[in-house]
Amino acid sequence: MLDTRELGRRPGSQRQVTRTVPAPPDLGIEVLKVPEGSPVEIDLRLEAVMEGVLVTGMARAVLEGECARCLEPIEEDSEVTFQELFVYDDPAHQGDPDEDDEVSKLEDDLLDLEPLLRDAVVLALPFQPLCEDDCPGLCTECGARLAEDPDHSHEEPVDPRWAGLAALKQDDPSSTSQD
């Protein structure tokens, strides 16, 4: 929570905020997130406007997770930027009630940065976290990590359909020996 009272609700007044906060839980997604409690550096400009406070800023944190293909642990710097208008939560500043859900509000002139931070971090996440762009993943036969063993191979597996045919062939002599 950030206090915006210093701005005095005077349009045009500004405040710069730089601080490091512990990461809230679930900052990210299951396979890639900022571990809870690890430092998030935030750098913000709060600017009072007619309807509320405009927040422009960026956040920096380290994401941890695992490669979607080979499950190798990943550590990745993340830097996100965001901008959001928080409107004053009082009747004089109420807009269209239908839009209420989409509008961020100040509560008693306090600003909750967490949803904004969460959205920015999640939006910036890769669709699939990978240890390297062309991670070859794991061997489907034995689970070895192919990035460490690119020439990895196994004997051609016996196709079960051919195994069945081979068994039929073996039966053949007995079935034709009845003539």
Q: Which residue type, as a one-letter code, is found at position 46?
A: L
Distance CA 73, CA 64 (A): 7
Q: By CB under 5 A, is residue 150 in contact with Zn ion? A: no
Q: Is 168 in the site for Zn ion (CB under 5 A)?
A: no
Compute the least distance from the CB of residue 102 to Zn ion, in Å. Answer: 38
Q: Is 144 in the site for Zn ion (CB under 5 A)?
A: yes
Does residue 131 bind Zn ion (CB under 5 A)? Answer: yes
- The minimum distance between CB 79 and Zn ion, in angstroms, equals 22
Among 21, 49, 139, 146, binds Zn ion (CB under 5 A): 139
Task: Tell me: does residue 149 bind Zn ion (CB under 5 A).
Answer: no
Query: Which residues are at the interface with Zn ion (CB under 5 A)?
Result: 67, 69-70, 72, 131, 135, 139, 141-142, 144
